[in-house]
Structure 1
Amino acid sequence: MLVLHGGRSEGLEAPPPWNLPGARMRLFFPSLARATAGQSVLLCRVRYRCRGWNGEREDASRDARWALGELARTVGELPVVVVGHSMGGRAALRVAGEPAVRGVVALAPWCPEGEPVGQLAGRRVVVLHGDRDRVTDPEASRRLLIRARQAGAETRFVPMRGGDHAMLRRRSDWHRTVAEEVAGMLGDAASG
């Protein structure tokens, strides 16, 4: 499992050693560990080189691809589920076409119009988005999933009623749902 935190649209500086987006995603680790107990699951997180997406540089997706390569190099070709929030959700969706990736769980992802979806074909893609999100657009997530389904992805949109972008409102619902989705994807990958 590869976990990607959020960031900014622009920012070439390195994230500080302790940053809120990274801490926010670490809060998911206990529920993910409980949901996958008894399975041989490696839980990894990416520390980006830059704070931002940075336009065509796509720094977050480049770092995620590098991490997937390092996983393959160090532990072999294993099925991977990528979990990402906000900018990390965008990066998770972008790297879904990598051979090891079986599925993506994107949390309040940043989905600009025209975002590519071809790489999602044959993948399971679940998007959770709060209806009180004022940073990223839940409707943009829905539109991306419609296009992804047309491209051959298995998609599901999970509305998080009362949920905000920081995933603090109804936090236990976010954690439970993410853990269930990841466990289901990893279980499907192991039996497939």
Structure 2
Amino acid sequence: MAQQATPVRTARLGRAFGPEPTAVSGVVLLLPGGEEVSARRPSPLLAAASVRGLGRRLVRAGRAEGLAAHVVHYRCRGWNGSEAHLARDASWAADEAVRRYGDVPVCLAGIDMGGRAALHAGGHEAVNSVVAIAPWLPEDDMASSPEPVKQLVGRRVLIVHGTNDERTDPELSFRYAARVKKVNRDVCRFEVHSDRHGLHQHRDEVLALAADFVMGVLFGRGFSRPVQDALAAPPPLGLRMPLAAGFGRSLR
């Protein structure tokens, strides 16, 4: 009896959030979290749930400009060392966005391990910006394989991290942002004081900050004053900017 070949897993894009615009002029690819090592297939429902609030907020803010937002469904849950599966899937997703929508700017927006994937894949030629929320980053004291930063030259980068994050170390994202700042001045990092990994305590402020940044980098809207100040400030000030309470209300 002939054996059936094991199907090859591939990444895919989820359905667009909300009604897809007739003419798409910018794309956000939402990268959920993952695991350090795992060959298991992620749950599409859990992946979509983890970034649903961000996706809805961005689509609502960018509907008039023609924003399309999709969740990237990875082929497996794990980063898996040098295989960097999640980063490869993010790069594939950027290729797919170009195939579907043509020459439009792409923003990679990742949470947790998805933040690391967004930062790694930020060098894709279609990507003009990266948002990394509570990104999972490895210890950066291993000289043999430091996290790459040169791929982010020419991109605008926003990193947001809670100071009481119990899962991903905020100090590592600060050190990473400082390294990025040496090759690319267009990076800013906001600290959400007293908030933990899920950033639930200041969820509205975080979503408003992300929307403000994405509308600026994709469609040329003016940044809010805090984002302008963070991009202009030298380190460490521009990399330890506090996210003020009420930020979201000030933009409504």
Q: Do they fold alike, i.e. is TM over 0.5? A: yes
Output the CA distance in 2 between the equivalents of 1:179 and 1:83.
11
Partner of 2:103: 77
Partner of 1:4: 31
What is the correspondence of 1:57-68 to structure 2 with a 5 Å cutoff?
57-68=83-94
Query: How many residues are paired up?
Result: 188
User: The residue matched to 1:88 in structure 2 has which SS?
Assistant: helix
Is the contact made by 2:34 and 2:78 (CA closer than 8 Å) also made in structure 1? yes
TM-score (norm 2): 0.71
User: The residue matched to 2:89 in structure 1 has which SS?
Assistant: helix
**1:167 aligns with one of 193, 196, 199:** 199
Output the CA distance in 2 between the equivalents of 1:173 and 1:57.
35
Per-residue displacement from partner, 1:73-100 (whole Å, max 9, x unpaired)?
Answer: 1211210111000110000000111111
TM-score (norm 1): 0.93
**1:14 aligns with one of 41, 46, 50:** 41
Is the contact made by 1:125 and 1:153 (CA closer than 8 Å) also made in structure 2? no
Per-residue displacement from partner, 1:21-63 (whole Å, max 9, x unpaired)?
Answer: 5312112122112221310111111001101111111110111
Is the contact made by 1:130 and 1:162 (CA closer than 8 Å) also made in structure 2? yes
Following TM superposition, by how much is the alpha carbon of 1:153 offset from its aligned partner in structure 2, in angstroms?
4.5
Structure 2: tracts of 5 or more residues without a match:
1-27, 141-145, 222-252
Following TM superposition, by how much is the alpha carbon of 1:72 offset from its aligned partner in structure 2, in angstroms?
1.0
Rg larger for: 2
Does the alignment pair 1:25 with 2:51?
A: yes
**2:137 aligns with one of 79, 90, 111:** 111
Does the alignment pair 1:34 with 2:60?
A: yes
Please say which of residues 123-132 and 25-34 is displaced more in the overlay. 25-34
Taking a change above 3 Å as real, the CA distance of residues 42 and 161 of structure 1, as seen in their structure-2 partners, is same
Structure 1: tracts of 5 or more residues without a match:
none
What is the correspondence of 1:148-187 to structure 2 with a 5 Å cutoff?
148-187=180-219
User: The residue matched to 1:158 in structure 2 has which SS?
Assistant: strand
Is the contact made by 2:29 and 2:107 (CA closer than 8 Å) also made in structure 1? yes
Output the CA distance in 1 between the equivalents of 2:131 and 2:176.
14
Q: Residue type of the partner of 1:134?
A: E
Is the contact made by 1:129 and 1:159 (CA closer than 8 Å) also made in structure 2? yes
Is the contact made by 1:6 and 1:22 (CA closer than 8 Å) also made in structure 2? no
Aligned identity (percent) is 39
Is the contact made by 2:30 and 2:55 (CA closer than 8 Å) also made in structure 1? no
